Structure 1
C-alpha cells in the first residue's frame, strides 16, 4: 500500500509499549507503540500522545494486550518496515454495526474435525445478526480453502461470540474484517460453501481450493482510494 493510504484493520493487540514524549506541544504526555495481529500477520502502529490520550479518555482499558477491535489510521512507509499512524482505536463492542463487514475463523484440517464444526453452529445461532461468517481452512499441502457459511448463520460479532469460538478452536483463530482495510488480490470465485437452508449441515460444498492469500473482497478487505 502507498504512503498515506487510509486503512481500518481489525484484530487483536499483542504488544503495547508506552513512552513519554520529550519534545513539542505534547512534551510530558504518554504515547504508545502497538502491534496488531490478524490471520494474515501483524502490523505495528504508533499512537501519538494526543491520539492516545483521546482514545484512553473514551475507552480507558481498550489499549492493552489481547484487546480486540479496530485501528484506523494511515500507512507510514518512511521506515524499512511499514507501520500505521493510528488516529483511532474502536473496541469490538463499539465496532458492531459500524465497521465489521465479515468475520473469518481460521481452521487447520489436521486439528479441527467435523464434531467441532457441528458445535460451532449453535454458537453462531446464539448471536444472530447480519454479518457473514467465513471459514479459512489451511490444508496439508499449504493451500487455503475459503468456506462461506449460509445467511442463516450470520452473526453479531460481539466479544462473547469471539470468546466462545476461540474457546472451541483456539486463541487467535477469529478475525474481524471491516471496510477500509487493505485490499488483497481477488480470488476467482473460490468459495467452498454456499448458502444453505438445511438444518443438517452448516453448508454445502460446491467448489474450489485457493492457493493464494484467501483474504478477498468477499472478506471485505479494501483500500480507501
Structure 2
C-alpha cells in the first residue's frame, strides 16, 4: 500500500514502476522492523547493574580451636574413656579473648584433677564426675560408662603417677577463664569382667601417656575439666 501511494505521488499510479518500487520499499521496511526488533530484545537481555558499593561476603570473627564446639570424632585416652577433641564443627564469631596469668596454686589444682577424674571414672562415680567436669564432658563419660556396662566390663585405673605438668596456655573469654595443662603421667589401665574380675583388656603394668587437659571456671569459681586432647609424647 505504501509502495502504491509512493508511485502515485511520482505519477506512476498503482502499476508499472510502482510495483517494483513498492517491492523495494517493502523490503526496506521489513529490514527496518527486523533491526528494531533485534535491538529491542538485545536491550531486554542485558543485566541491570545496580549502583552503590559492591556486595561483601559473610565474615567471621577471629577463631581458634578453643572457639569451636567439639563436633569431630572423640579421642580416647589411656584411661579408656571417650574424650571430646578440641576442634572441628561449626565456627561461630569468637568472643573477646585475652591471655591471663595463673598462680602456681592453679597448676596444683589441675594436677589434683588428673587423679580425681581418673578415680571417679574408674569408680563409675557420676556425682564426682559432675562436680569435676562440665556437662559436655560428663555426657562423654556417661556414654563410655554405659558402653562398658553393656559389654559387661569395668575400666580399672590405678597407680596414676604424674611425671610432668606444665600450663600450655591460659586465657579469658567474657565471664569464663580457660587453661590448658600438658600432662605426662603413668597409669595402669585395664578392663576387667564385671562379674569375675578377670582381665578383659589392657596390660597390668604402667603405660605412659601425654595429654592436654583444658579446664574452665566461671566468674572465678571452681576449675572444671572441659576437654582432653591427646598429645605427641615427643613433642609435648
Higher relative contact order (CA 8 A, sep 6+): 1
Fold equivalence (TM over 0.5): no
Structure-2-length-normalised TM-score = 0.21
| Structure with greater helix percent | 2
| Structure with greater strand percent | 1
